[in-house]
Amino acid sequence: MINITLFAQIIQLLNRNEFKKLVDKYQVDKHNKGINTWTHFVSMLFLQFAKANSLSEISNGLKLTGGDINHLGIQKKVPCKSSLSYINEHRNWEFFREYYMCLYQNFTNKAHFKQVKFKIKRKIYLLDSTTITLCLDLFDWAKYRTQKGAIKLHMLLDYEGFLPSFVNVTTGKIADVTEARRLVIPADSVVVADRGYEDYKLLSKWDKAGIKFVIRIKESTGTLGMKELPLPEGKNEDILIDEKFILENEQTREKYPKQLRRIVVYDTKNDKTIILITNNFTWTAGTISKLYKERWNIEAFFKMLKQQLKIKTFVGTSLNAVMIQIWTAMTTILILKYLKQLGKYNWSMSNLVAFLRLSLFLKLCLTQCLDKPFKSPDEIGENQLQTRIFN
């Protein structure tokens, strides 16, 4: 018989030792108004799992656990609305970012998120941003247009598991390439990005660091062809041009003086051509084309975030509160991906989110729900299932 809720079982998957180390490092339990960092963190996770609309809904929702809050690690009391508002504004958001990275390492080592589409012995990253509109009267720091506020979510998505390895929030005015210049990308990686990152000073920096890139460029970019490469015969007929080139404009060429490779691909779905450039001369044109096509996964990730989690509206108006909510959203999606990987049932992310959202406070076996959600405990070995998830 399971005597703790699904939400409590999910919380117990998290590494409390690393959490305590980071609490000491950031000193975030000082001046906590009676709400320690763990209680704050669990409350913000509940916001994401339950998709609560306000601080009141967080507080009232957690009260529904009754006497089970100790299973969540909440030892004193459920935080009230005013306490949550205060700590969202004042507790250092960088703590939540670093704990996400700790869990990221922990879960990826356990779940082995691995894509095998490419025989490339390099880490592949997808780079892009998405804009979230805000009310300028409430978020007066989020300058975008005269009467409109917005933030931009910049993300570097790890192709293995499609999980963020870098996230930052800026005002809507900040250009994608400006934020990309701040990125520290591991050497021997591959970066795939769209036209917003066509900056040859940046690309030269990546090239010198041993980073390979596949970038879509504007049709107006001037190029001087140096050597045409043979097109594949009998396959990849969508590839129209494969050539080595240098940049035509002298000022631009000063930023990137070396040769590049240009591949023109015909997009049959949208009836248009796509121009790609790369600093790799050994991969096949088909591999480079397929790499760029995988970029849609970051678009799908942004869409999933906005639809399934609390990322378009915020329960606090300060930058600190927004950052805490964003990083707990990232932690939530990390947990969900881990649960999806563990489960034997063929979950879609939307179905898993909906199932958990409706069942958070039910006392069901988490492993049974992940493996066989529509069978009763009598049909399977409940005790055996329950122990597997914690191994």
What's the token pair of residue 62?
A: 């957690």
What's the token pair of residue 23?
A: 């609490």
Question: 380 vs 3, 8, 344, 370, 377, CA distance in Å?
Answer: 18, 22, 13, 13, 6
- Write the DSSP symbol of residue 13: T
Whole-model pTM: value is 0.89
Q: What are phi and psi of 2, to 5 degrees?
A: -85, 125
3-class DSSP assignment, residue 80: coil
Q: Which residues contact 13 (CB under 8 A, 6 or more apart)?
A: 335, 338, 389, 390
Between CA 238 and CA 159 the distance in angstroms is 24
Asked if 133 contacts 150 with a C-beta cutoff of 8 angstroms, the reply is: yes
What's the token pair of residue 337?
A: 């991906």
What's the token pair of residue 340?
A: 């999806």
Q: Which residue has the tokens 């916001």?
A: 47
Q: What is the mean pLDDT of residues 7-13?
A: 94
- Per-residue pLDDT of 48-77, as tens digits, reads 999 999 999 999 999 887 667 888 988 778
Asked if 214 contacts 190 with a C-beta cutoff of 8 angstroms, the reply is: yes
Between CA 343 and CA 345 the distance in angstroms is 5
- Per-residue pLDDT of 120-163, as tens digits, reads 888 999 999 999 999 989 999 998 887 889 999 999 999 988 89
- Per-residue pLDDT of 218-275, as tens digits, reads 988 888 888 888 887 767 778 999 999 999 999 999 999 999 999 999 988 888 999 9
Q: What is the pLDDT of residue 23?
A: 96
**What would the DSSP string read from start to end of 309-375?**
SS-SS-S--SHHHHHHHHHHHHHHHHHHHHHHHH-SS---HHHHHHHHHHHTTS---HHHHHH-TTS
Q: Which residues contact 279 (CB under 8 A, 6 or more apart)?
A: 203, 206, 207, 212, 213, 258, 260, 261
Q: What is the pLDDT of residue 114?
A: 67
pLDDT > 70 fraction of the chain, expressed in percent and rounded: 93
Q: What is the mean pLDDT of residues 280-296?
A: 93
